């Protein structure tokens, strides 16, 4: 990860459940923080923050997280915040750096995505979209859902 371009400003932990691998991710973030101290960390979890704070391994990972989006993804409850995929999810600004990012996070457009392309033939739709918009973009860009 340290070979990634210097102009990146952070990392997002999502997919599956990051807190089920809390110790390994905490170690990774410790190393990353030493190499890229300016990077922020955004994490998604299906577990509520209250639950995570009760687990030692999760607390070790939370120590590196600037912003946490918690709560399970609820398909039938479209998000009302640019970083939350469903309206039941909450944002928690856990660090001073996270708090400084709050205004910028709330100015992000709702229902927006980027098309990720690279050296492989695989393309990715990256972002938080409502189901109808996601389906339409997948169809228009001829992408297969993962």
Q: Which pLDDT tens digit goes with each residue over 28-84?
A: 999 999 999 999 999 999 999 999 999 999 999 999 999 999 999 987 888 888 899
Q: Specify the pTM.
A: 0.84
In sequence order, the β-bridge partners of residue 114 are 126
The span from the CA of 64 to the CA of 126, in Å, is 23
The CA-based dihedral angle spanning residues 17, 113, 84, 101, taken in that order and rounded to the nearest 10 degrees? 100
Q: Which pLDDT tens digit goes with each residue over 13-25?
A: 998 899 999 999 9
Whether the Cβ atoms of residue 63 and residue 72 lie closer than 8 Å to each other: no
**Domain boundaries of the chain, sorted by first residue:** 10-109, 111-146
The span from the CA of 137 to the CA of 139, in Å, is 5
């Amino acid at each position: 990860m340290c070979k990634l371009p210097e102009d990146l400003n952070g990392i997002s932990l999502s997919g599956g459940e990051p807190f089920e691998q809390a110790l390994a991710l905490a170690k990774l973030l410790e190393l990353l923080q030493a190499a890229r101290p300016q990077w922020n960390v955004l994490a998604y979890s299906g577990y509520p923050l209250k639950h995570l704070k009760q687990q030692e391994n999760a607390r070790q990972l939370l120590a590196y997280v600037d912003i946490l989006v918690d709560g399970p993804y609820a398909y039938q409850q479209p998000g009302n915040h640019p970083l939350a995929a469903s309206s039941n999810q909450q944002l928690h600004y856990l660090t001073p750096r996270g708090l400084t990012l709050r205004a910028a996070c709330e100015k992000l457009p709702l229902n927006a995505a980027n098309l990720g392309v690279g050296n492989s033939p695989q393309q990715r739709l990256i972002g938080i979209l409502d189901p109808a918009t996601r389906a339409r973009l997948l169809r228009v860009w001829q992408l297969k859902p993962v």
